[in-house]
Amino acid sequence: YQMHWASYQARPDATAAVHTHAPIATAFGITNQSFPPINTDAIFLADTKIVPWYMPGSKELADAVGEALKASRGAILQCHGLMTVGKTMRDAATRAMMLEETARILLYCRQFGGELTLIPSEWVERLAAFATFV
């Protein structure tokens, strides 16, 4: 539970933390994938950090997750899973689901092949302003 404690220490605004082993988002972390702006969720998740692998339950993992969450409300743990935080359990769980669903959409897009259609940059900036509400 060190990782959960570190999450709360890093984010005093958070009262809930969710840790999952979401398979597709975890695979994105293993392969160092980022979330290009393919939809609004990807824009809201743009600050998600990828935390290198550390032994589960270790102080090193807790410290790395805490550091990542200082600048984000979500982290992908390489070869492990996700950690998200929020003001409520619903907020933290919603962020975890957004990470997995966005990873799933990107996986499908890459399987279909072709070039990704991205949201135009001027809209990315406008939408990013709403990221604190999600």
> pLDDT digits over 11-50, tens only?
999 999 999 999 999 999 999 999 999 999 999 999 999 9
Quickly count: other Cβ atoms within 10 Å of residue 131's Cβ. Answer: 14
Q: Is 75 exposed, middle or buried (0-12, 13-18, 19+ CB in 10 A)?
A: buried
The yes-or-no verdict on residue 132 having pLDDT over 90 is no
Question: What token pair was written down for 87?
Answer: 């003001």
Residues 16 and 29: their CA atoms lie apart, in Å, by 22
The predicted structure's pLDDT at residue 110: 94
The whole-model pTM stands at: 0.91
Residues 47 and 134: their CA atoms lie apart, in Å, by 12
The yes-or-no verdict on residue 131 having pLDDT over 90 is no
Q: What is the rounded average pLDDT of the residues 97-115?
A: 96
CATH topology for the 2-133 domain: L-fuculose-1-phosphate Aldolase (3.40.225)
| Residue 12 neighbours by CB under 8 Å, 6+ apart | none
| Residue 29 neighbours by CB under 8 Å, 6+ apart | 50, 51, 76, 77, 78, 79, 80
DSSP states along 53-99: P--TT-HHHHHHHHHHHTS-SEEEETTTEEEEEESSHHHHHHHHHHH
So where are the chain's domains? 2-133
Q: Directed axis angle between helix 59-69 and helix 2-10, to 10°?
A: 30
Q: Which residue has the higher pLDDT, 63 or 129?
A: 63
The predicted structure's pLDDT at residue 1: 84
